[in-house]
Amino acid sequence: MPIGESPEYVRTSTAADIVLGFSPGKFYRNAVPYCINLLLYFKDGCKANCLYCGQAREVAKDAACKTLIRVEWPLRKLDNVIASLKKILRTGCSFRPYRVCVATITNPKAVEAEIEVIRKIYHEVGMPISALITPTLFHKEEMKKLREAGAERIGIAIDCATPQIFDLLRGKAARGPHRWQRYLQGVEEAVQVMNKGKVGIHLIVGLGETEKQAVELIQKTHDMGAETHLFSFYPEEGSVLEKWPRPPISQYRRIQLARYLINNEITYAENMKYNQAEQITDYGISKGLLADIIETGQPFITSGCPGCNRPYSNEKPSEFPRNFPYPPTRKQIQKIKQQLQTYKLSQNTVKDLKKYLVKYNY
């Protein structure tokens, strides 16, 4: 096993690295992360080429690309990560991480390493573990091995809301190995292996899809037994999409609300109404019920596996939060209501995306 690679070593998100005591730092508004996010590492990097990712094959100058999801991911010995987790849980300090998430990259060594990292953490720490995997490498048999190793949930980062956008950013058109059909099949297999409600998909809002298209994928995967975990597109330094605009916060708010209503079976996509730009104008429930739900603030809290609140992964701490890592205040809910009622024409349609990609030879 080469020194410095997974499963012996893993990368930790900056937030996890602070919680584990490996690097100094504090959390703005005390928004501590309840999930320890880990990432596999191999010297020859990721073989995929997702155009919004700093690790993409054609842009990553070094396998340990500078940033991912806005932050650095230092390389740590897994044994040290485990020792630190045990210490935190033993001391019973006020803050206790609730979950560990082990994310793969697309590399031939990833399957074995993912299973081994999860097995080790599960046997030595026993916390709930999510396996964030790619169906390009993980089929049903490998998913069963993840469950046997101790994974409590499986996450699948579909990221794109339509087959066309998926192909443009991650598939053939992007010179990447991922395929939309294989990803949907992977969600089906994961639900068969882990059961309904124990599988989540990642959806990035703002990659060229309309609100209607995002809602339809949320409903489709919900019907398959999977929840949706939302991310608001943030341009990654060094990636092909580093100059692609972020979605208007109003667009993100409406999708957050729609996701909450669908994943809690309060409404269905087919009951919703849209304007000409396919922006949501009606959620298919009474105005009174909708107002009560908005007033709770719940729909705007980070959606993810239990405990995964991902503080400031979609915006700078100084900005008005997109994913709230804590319940929004009364004052913040007032602002959210205004955002929900704002209808700006999005600058990031699939037509814009195609024009943008041509400039980068895709």
Q: Segment contacting ligand SF4 (CB under 6 A): 26-34, 59-67, 144-152, 303-311?
A: 303-311
Binding of ligand SF4 at residue 305 (CB under 6 A)? yes
Select from 6, 55, 130, 314 the one that contacts ligand SF4 (CB under 6 A).
130
Q: Could you tell me the two tokens for 248? A: 């208007």
Out of 59, 60, 101, 293, point to the residue binding ligand SF4 (CB under 6 A): 101
CA-CA distance, 110 to 87, in Å (whole number)?
28
155 binds ligand SF4 (CB under 6 A): yes
Helix residue ranges, H only, the chain: 14-19, 78-91, 110-124, 140-149, 163-169, 180-194, 211-224, 249-263, 287-296, 330-340, 350-359
Per-residue contact flags (x/-) with ligand SF4 for residues 68 to 87, judged by CB under 6 A: --------------------
143 part of the interface to ligand SF4, by CB under 6 A? no
Residue from 10, 16, 35, 121 that binds ligand SF4 (CB under 6 A)? Answer: 35
Q: How many of the chain's residues bind ligand SF4 (CB under 6 A)?
A: 12
- Of 31 and 35, nearer to ligand SF4 (C-beta) is 35
The answer to the question of residue 308 lying near ligand SF4 (CB under 6 A) is yes
Cβ of residue 221: shortest distance to ligand SF4, in angstroms?
14
Least separation in angstroms between CB 136 and ligand SF4: 16
**Non-local CB neighbours of 246 within 8 Å, separated by 6+ positions:** 206, 232, 233, 234, 235
Q: Which of 304, 311, 321, 325 binds ligand SF4 (CB under 6 A)?
A: 304
Options 40-48, 216-224, 250-258, 301-309: segment touching ligand SF4 (CB under 6 A):
301-309
Range 213-216, long-range pairs (CB < 8 A, 24+ positions): 213/161, 213/162, 213/278, 214/161, 214/255, 214/258, 215/255, 215/258, 215/262, 215/269, 215/272, 215/280, 216/161, 216/269
H or E element that contains 231: strand 227-232
Stretch that binds ligand SF4, among 174-182, 266-274, 304-312, 347-355 (CB under 6 A): 304-312
DSSP line for 305-336 = STT---TTSSS-TTSPPSSBSSPPPHHHHHHH
Residue 182 exposed, middle or buried by CB count within 10 Å (0-12, 13-18, 19+): middle
Smallest distance from ligand SF4 to CB 304, Å: 3
33 binds ligand SF4 (CB under 6 A): no
Q: Does 187 bind ligand SF4 (CB under 6 A)?
A: no
Which residue, 232 or 339, has its beta carbon nearer to ligand SF4?
Answer: 232
- Residue 178 near ligand SF4 by CB under 6 A: no
CB of 103 to ligand SF4, least distance (A): 7
Cβ closest to ligand SF4, residue 155 vs residue 247? 155
Q: Are 127 and 99 spatial neighbours (Cβ–Cβ below 8 Å)?
A: yes
* Stretch 217-256 residues interacting with ligand SF4 (CB under 6 A): 229
Q: Per the structure block, which two tokens stand in for 361?
A: 């030879």
Nearest to ligand SF4 of 206, 304 (CB atom):
304
- CA pseudo-torsion sign 316, 319, 323, 328: positive
- Residue range at the interface with ligand SF4 (CB under 6 A); choices 138-146, 168-176, 300-308, 323-331: 300-308
| Residue 190 lies near ligand SF4 (rule: CB under 6 A) | no
Q: Does 132 bind ligand SF4 (CB under 6 A)?
A: yes
Sign of the C-alpha dihedral computed for residues 39, 45, 47 and 52 taken in this order = positive
First-last CA distance in the chain: 36
The answer to whether 115 contacts ligand SF4 (rule: CB under 6 A) is: no
User: Does residue 361 come out as left (phi exceeding 0), alpha (psi in the -120 to 50 range) or beta?
Assistant: left
- What the block records as the tokens of 20 is 């584990």
